Amino acid sequence: MEEGQIPPLSFMDKLNIGGIPLTGHVVLGPMAGVTSLAYREFMKPFGVALSYSEMISDCGLSYHNKKTLDYAKTSHIDRPVGLQLFGFDIRNTAQAIEILEAHADYDILDLNFGCPVQKVTKTGAGSAWMKRPLDLYQYVRMVVTKSHKPVTAKLRLGWDSTHINIQEIAPALEEAGVKMITVHARTAVQAYSGKPDFHQIAHLGSQLSIPLCVSGDIFTPEDALNAMKIADASLVMVARGGLGNPELVTNIENAIEGKPCLPPPSIAKDAEYALRFSQMLRKEKGEHEAVLILRGLLPHFFTGFPGYKKIRAELSVNPHSFDDLQKLLLGIRDRNHL
Ligand X SMILES: Cc1cc2nc3c(=O)[nH]c(=O)nc-3n(C[C@H](O)[C@H](O)[C@H](O)COP(=O)(O)O)c2cc1C
List the catalytic residue out of 59, 115, 213, 261: 115
Q: Name the segment binding ligand X (CB under 6 A); options: 19-27, 40-48, 135-143, 215-223.
A: 215-223
Active site residue 115: yes
**Quick one: 140 exposed, middle or buried, by C-beta within 10 A (0-12, 13-18, 19+)?**
buried
Among 22, 239, 290, 291, binds ligand X (CB under 6 A): 239
With binding defined as CB under 6 A, does residue 300 bind ligand X? no
Among 215, 250, 251, 278, binds ligand X (CB under 6 A): 215
Nearest Cα neighbor of 57 from 12, 22, 87, 26 is 87
With binding defined as CB under 6 A, does residue 12 bind ligand X? no
CB of 35 to ligand X, least distance (A): 7
Strand 235-238 and strand 108-113: the pairing is unpaired
Between 22 and 28, name the residue whose CB sits nearer to ligand X: 28
Q: Name the segment binding ligand X (CB under 6 A); options: 27-35, 131-139, 273-281, 316-324.
A: 27-35
In the window 173-192, what residues touch ligand X (CB under 6 A)? 184
In the window 216-235, what residues touch ligand X (CB under 6 A)? 216-218
For residues 106 to 135, the per-residue mask of contacts with ligand X, x marking binding by CB under 6 A and - elsewhere, is ------x-xx--------------------
Among 146, 240, 300, 312, binds ligand X (CB under 6 A): 240
Nearest Cα neighbor of 30 from 40, 16, 22 is 40
Q: Name the segment binding ligand X (CB under 6 A); options: 23-31, 71-79, 279-287, 330-338.
A: 23-31
For residues 241 to 280, the per-residue mask of contacts with ligand X, x marking binding by CB under 6 A and - elsewhere, is x---------------------------------------
Whether the link from the prior residue into 80 is cis, omega within 30° of 0, is: yes
Known catalytic residues are 115
Residues found near ligand X in the complex (CB under 6 A): 29-34, 54-55, 84, 112, 114-115, 154, 184, 215-218, 237, 239-241
